[in-house]
Structure 1
């Protein structure tokens, strides 16, 4: 018997009925209550909030163009249901995941029966896609508000059949990289395999064009307790790394674009690892073992200030931010970054657009 050929990976985006928190709840601490433990009570809490008109559901399915602005930075993306059974290599992770965390998250997602936020995907869109999005956003947005966290939102519903089909055609061949939501996407794949033929074969995503309104890419920094600069310097001699002491903070930070910057609370240094690896790969694959450091001693920090505040307990390690091209190249090559290596900002606040699996 002939077996049907496998389908080519495609980014298939479909309209959905959006669930939205009321504007005064989006991004506010109260928004977290609906997703809090016990997870099995989330459906009842959601129904209670709908009765109280704290949650609204749009009447008809649509794709959404969601533009949000935080601290002067605007990001715009297309939000829809992604068919994970068709995606395959059309969606590329760039960070490793912990499978025990994926299993735990899949169980929680199934209990919640909700996508509380879209997974952020990034790509380089085509001029034709940017033109189409530009035309669709020329009209007045269907929704415009500023949430309690200061994030301004504008949303356009895309419901016309021809417009939906055009967007679908223009994104189908793209290869997108996961910016935020690696564990959620891995959990979505698990649920799609476990629950074929159900709504779990789709998950909520937001596709951001890095050539239009890019997410800002930053590094996640490290600190290591009980590590000394003397240990780092000695290992550099043995390995052939370029270790340089610096007289001031400013002098050290001038090296941050291409090197690790180190601070122990008093002294500053920079380290250029040997070879052509990106510094974050060299740090985890080579340097930490050479320093006798295991993962339990490594702490992660989203800002340089947070890392430097821990320098008194050991050494703060500031990492250069990779470019989108470096991230995408690693993803296409199947060489994921270490966990917690990149930070994409700004992210949309929780509750702006959600998807109810019970709908």
Structure 2
């Protein structure tokens, strides 16, 4: 198989379930520290032993009782709160109506395989994948009561993220959460390749700890993640090339000023620049589709010569800096709409690669799941 091929990962079947697990947490002095990320680097087989050593030295806390965790983190004034648990991935959906977890972009099989091998050697899920949903009222009510009590852990990490964590262990609360979440449908916000790695491990070793994968479920209505755009740089493509491609697909190309181009950004309108000249591209975006789909499905294929490569950048400044190093055109994208993304995945489609940027993400090390703890009793 072509290692650059992008494929659709399998869909997990409902009901959506987050099971308790015995959380591992790095010392606050290590969370948010770049050296902590290097602790999960090769050789992966040494990571579990390294964490055990740190645990003996008091640098890692390992809960004695399984819990589903409420994790709240604050970054630059943005507060995000989510449930962290062991996501049941043991069943594959057989119909669209049966799907409980929705990826919104494809994955590279080789990358997913590498991550699966890494987790198998480390014997852990080092960080939760990030899921978003519209939370049921019953879940909000229960979590509001949980958050009204003193947190189990409260600290500021080395990256200046503020964290509060509550361990939910009461059987009645866990049962109420399971019942309230059963009908939920969740979108993968971050971690598509780790999700695919979970499924690959479960396929190869069903019935044990690989039937679950660590996940954080955020209520997008309660404490929403910011959904931003990821801009493109078409290396080797000029503005005249884009103008001609626009003519071919019925899009409108208009040269203008930087201020006007950036101000015109809208669901169907992109801003383009070669670093000197600016233009707007009004794309023919049908109802129910996103501009990034039209860009990759119609505009880029309409270019006389395909770009030498496409660069992806979360910040406009990064895209402009790329232009200073490589001749080409930067395309500034509008921020995608969350409800539109939901409609696209519910219709069975995926967005092009790197179409969304959900922010902020939690620091690594707040909650880790050891695969050596096994799987909980699942009735």
1:250 has 2:259 as partner: yes
Shift of 1:30: 1.6
**Separation (CA, whole Å) in 2 of partners of 1:329 and 1:320:** 18
Whole-Å separation in 2 of the counterparts to 1:330 and 1:109:
31
Alignment partner, residue 225 of structure 2: 215
Which residues of 2 match residues 142-181 of structure 1 at below 5 A? 142-181=152-191
Asked if 2 retains the 8 angstrom alpha-carbon contact of 1:243 and 1:270, the reply is yes
Scaled by the length of structure 1, the TM-score of the pair is 0.95
- Equivalent residues of 2:237, 2:307 under 8 A apart: no
Unaligned runs of at least 5 residues, structure 1: 1-6
Cα offset, 1:42, TM superposition: 1.6
133, 145, 150: which is aligned to 1:135?
145
Q: Quick one: distance in 2 between partners of 1:145 and 1:8?
A: 36
Q: Which residue of 2 is the match for residue 303 of structure 1?
A: 315
Query: 2:293 corresponds to which residue?
Result: 281
Alignment map for 1:299-338 (pairs within 5 Å): 299-312=311-324, 313-338=327-352
Give the match for residue 4 of structure 1. none
1:228 matched residue in structure 2: 238
| Cα distance in 2, alignment partners of residues 52 and 222 from structure 1 | 46
With the length of structure 2 as denominator, give the TM-score of the two structures. 0.90
Work out the CA distance in 1 between the residues paired with 2:262 and 2:90.
45
Q: Secondary structure at the match of 1:108?
A: helix
1:40-97 deviations in Å (ceiling 9; x for gaps): 2222222222222221101111110000000000000011111101474100101111
Residue aligning to 2:198 = 188
Structure 2 residue ranges without an equivalent (≥5): 1-11, 94-98, 374-379
1:292, CA displacement in angstroms? 4.2
**Matches of 1:218 and 1:87, distance apart in 2:** 30
Shift of 1:311: 2.7
For residues 1-359 of structure 1, what are the structure 2 equivalents within 5 Å?
9-86=14-91, 88=93, 89-247=99-257, 249-258=258-267, 259-276=269-286, 277-292=289-304, 294=306, 297-312=309-324, 313-359=327-373
Tell which deviates more after alignment, 211-220 or 266-275.
266-275
User: Structure 1 CA distance, aligned partners of 2:302 and 2:163?
Assistant: 47
Report the Cα offset of residue 330 of structure 1.
Answer: 1.2
Segment of structure 1 superposing worse, 135-144 or 99-108: 99-108
Distance in 2 (CA, whole Å) between partners of 1:144 and 1:223 is: 41
In structure 2, C-alpha distance between the alignment counterparts of 1:14 and 1:86, rounded to whole Å = 15
| Alpha-carbon offset, residue 294 of structure 1 | 4.4
Q: Deviations over 1:244-282 (max 9, x none)?
A: 1112x2211111122111011101111112241421111
| Contact 2:124/2:370, CA 8 A, preserved across alignment | yes
CA distance in 1, matches of 2:150, 2:113: 42
Between 124-133 and 145-154, the greater mean CA deviation after superposition: 124-133
Residues 13 and 100 in structure 2, CA contact (< 8 A), matched pair in contact too: no
- 1:295: how far off? 6.8
SS in 1 for 2:195: helix
2:90 aligned counterpart, secondary structure = helix
In 2: Cα distance, 1:207 partner to 1:45 partner = 28
Q: Is the 8 A contact 1:263 1:311 kept in 2?
A: no
Q: Secondary structure in 2 aligned to 1:281? A: helix
Bigger drift between 298-307 and 276-285 goes to 276-285
Deviations 1:172-211 (CA, angstroms, capped at 9, x unpaired): 1100010001111111111111101110000111110011
